[in-house]
Structure 1
């Protein structure tokens, strides 16, 4: 729907004059005209709250550190002498000029130009040294040469140009391959394929050998600059030279004799020999065990003057080490300040309990925020962690409160599990699920909702289905009752089901996000909820059955909320402007305190707002 002045809208051959609301009418369709556009902004209950940085990769020059900070959707420049950020890329989250998604890698060439792997946007972007000018940009989504499927790693170093002559070139990893480009983005060649989720790449500045982090194989594969396989090292485990979880970052000493690889599952960095009879053998490890040197080491680089720089993502810090072939010593820690408890960074799921207490899934800060209805006090719980760690979270999405008990259920997305906490978050009570497609397990669970009969419904997004459970927290049991759906566009099929809600009569509503629709499960059968009187949905993330029997859709791609009947009749839309606040960045979910009051998470607006509704 195109809104002109909120009074008159031309659609097809019909102009409809409204009082305080706009309705889109398809040619020949019936227009339902609401009496009023009944949603008013009452205030922001949680605003933005950011850690000092969320560093995932680093690149260095003699004067600066360049840091990929996906928690702010930007790259930052840190002045080495002062340890302060002085510049960052313009724009924000998006696909336009200057914008980026949650980028994952950065590299610098000899001239100081900066190369960023804009991972979700499937492109490479080259910036000036001050990050203010885009010098080049290339790549689109695809598997053809020159295209990218989630470009995760970038390195710049000695290689061979299109004619086989020595040149400084750009190496990338995406999908299962290495691609080589000129510094302006012209494809030179694809020289290695068959990797299992490669996550980073580095070039030995002395020999030109190329090191690829073959993450899911838990090893490093090494090639000549001509693309010939040379050797590999690493395996899965926690012993010397082994990796637990996915190795993420890699760099080499200036002389090329030591390779440093981040082993985030063991919270350490392993130094490997790259030469002689000890090639591929561990020299030593930094951190690991009980040392607590790192929380989650990701990107690494060696400075021109020979220091090892580490991006410790969930310590929100950069750490400098001096090193030799025998060991390393911490020299300086930069940043490392957690987000304040008074807000959230990219809030997703929201829920209220019977007392009106508000619970928010604070996605980037890896925590749950609780705001007490009686006192207004804000508390948080959770921290970044891996499967098996009590109280840990891993990019959790939805949150729901169990009626009667007040227990808080969390869809711990990246760990493929559901976690249950007591109402104040002081205890983890129960956890279940693992990554697979068997009924009762999950692949990226994203939505949660309790039904009137007390059962829990889960949007199991990665498995393109929804599941129903009967959960007994006291007995620590979760019995799967139904597993419904498959991937596709047909009725009862899904393209990433995300939001889920159940109304008073037990009908289940699912935001079928990538199919741009809402589906309903009623009396054992599925149907698509028709939409009349307004434009169609664009990537709807959330759906909520309201106390008055209506449906509310978080139409994220259109940056609006839509209120409609369960049969699909449009009531009204809510935008930032119509509600009396700034534009929505990304409405994600609505939860109701009562029939007249609701909360909405505005994910990319970094806020949770309160609305008066009718």
Structure 2
């Protein structure tokens, strides 16, 4: 009687080899970097139209017009999506003898309105897109609705405003009219807490910038803690990831002046596929799943097209192009980002 065992073993071995090759191909495809394409950049250092001195905030309206907070020029500049300068409006200065207004957070609200936060003045202000003040609220303090160094701001799915209250180590939620609705967070390292690696009252740990995904979830960045956190719209802690250092996925170890702290994640934005983009002061933008798995990286350190020096705010237009406030290079950069495979 003839035995089929050798033939069976051979087929089994061939099947295993084929399966291994297939899995290897799938893994290689999954790890292949996204083919990000640099589109354009505009700006250089100065105070003329289209020039910048520390652009840190960035927002787009429903016509894909780009609004930039020009920190050390104490103004907002408006551009079309190709970088053509359209308008400028001045902001109230923090220190009158200097041209400075620490307005970092900015978001377009629709209906021709723009919301800005003022870190030194502890204010939230609503303007028309022409720069006319509509309303403002906030004063320094710790009570609900009071602020201490407000940073990033994002529009919730319900059209309310979430504000990063940096020195109070919390996120506060307001109506568009300025009514306080809710808040969460305190100083600490646990999920839902902020800035625990810095003394209480420091602004260097966060929360810094905020973003929202298609599910309405809110994301925050913490510089000194090198952490991104994810929350429900009501403030329930859902996820977090942290990684100092310069390895892939790491948010960098950057010394701010003489402060030996880790200043990593700064700007944050979420695209229409719920991929989470995070800028960091190790001169790159990294892209993650909502659970914190690294997908790909945009840019590296330098001043050539597609390179960054201390990138800050991030934003998307209706076509899904990414805009980056390349603060250290005094410019805005635009990239085409491919859809997921």
Is 1:363 the equivalent of 2:116? no
Cα distance, 1:433 vs. partner?
0.4
Q: Match of 1:382?
A: 138
2:307 aligned residue: 536
Q: Summarize the Cα distance change of 1:528–1:368 in structure 2 as closer, same or farther, 3 Å threshold.
A: same
Segments of 4+ moved more than 6 angstroms? none
Question: How many pairs does the alignment contain?
Answer: 238
Tell me the distance in 1 between the aligned counterparts of 2:81 and 2:153.
29
Cα RMSD between the aligned structures?
2.9
Where does residue 550 of structure 1 map in the other structure? 321
> Who wins on radius of gyration, i.e. which is larger?
1
Q: 2:249 matched to which residue of 1?
A: 492
Relative to 1, partners in 2 of residues 1:440 and 1:390: Cα closer, same or farther, differing over 3 Å? Answer: closer
Which residue of the partner structure matches residue 271 of structure 2?
503
Q: Distance in 2 between matches of 1:21 and 1:487?
A: 29
* Corresponding residue number in structure 2 for 1:440: 192
Name the SS for the 1:501 alignment partner.
Answer: strand
Higher relative contact order (CA 8 A, sep 6+): 2
**Contact 1:465 1:493 (C-alpha < 8 Å) held by counterparts:** no
1:519 to 286, 292, 297: 286
Q: TM-score, normalised by structure 1?
A: 0.36
1:459 and 1:499 mapped to 2: Cα distance?
7
What does residue 277 of structure 1 align with?
Answer: none
Instruction: Tell me the alpha carbon deviations over residues 14-41 of structure 1, each in whole angstroms, 9 at most, x when there is no partner.
Output: xxxxxx989xxxxxxxxxxxxx992211
TM-score scaled by length of structure 2: 0.63
Instruction: Map residues 111-510 of structure 1 onto 2, 5 A cutoff.
Output: 345-372=101-128, 376-385=132-141, 387=142, 389-403=143-157, 405-425=158-178, 427-443=179-195, 444-472=206-234, 478-495=235-252, 496-510=264-278
Give the whole-Å Cα distance in 2 for the aligned partners of 1:398 and 1:21. 23
Shift of residue 531, structure 1, vs aligned partner: 3.1
Distance between the aligned counterparts of 2:121 and 2:131, measured in 1?
24
Listed one character per residue, the Cα deviations across residues 59-113 of structure 1 (whole Å, up to 9, x for unaligned) are xxxxxxxxxxxx756xxxxxxxxxxxxxxxxxx88xxxxxxxxxxxxxxxxxxxx
1:537 & 1:402 partners in 2: Cα distance? 29
Q: Is the 8 A contact 2:116 2:126 kept in 1?
A: yes
For structure 1, list consecutive stretches of 5 or more residues without a partner in the other structure: 1-19, 23-35, 54-70, 74-91, 94-344, 473-477, 568-614
* Cα drift, residue 528 of structure 1: 4.3
Deviation of the 1:431 alpha carbon: 1.1
Name whichever structure is richer in helix by fraction. Answer: 2
CA shift, 1:459, in A, is 1.1
- 2: distance between equivalents of 1:399 and 1:460? 14
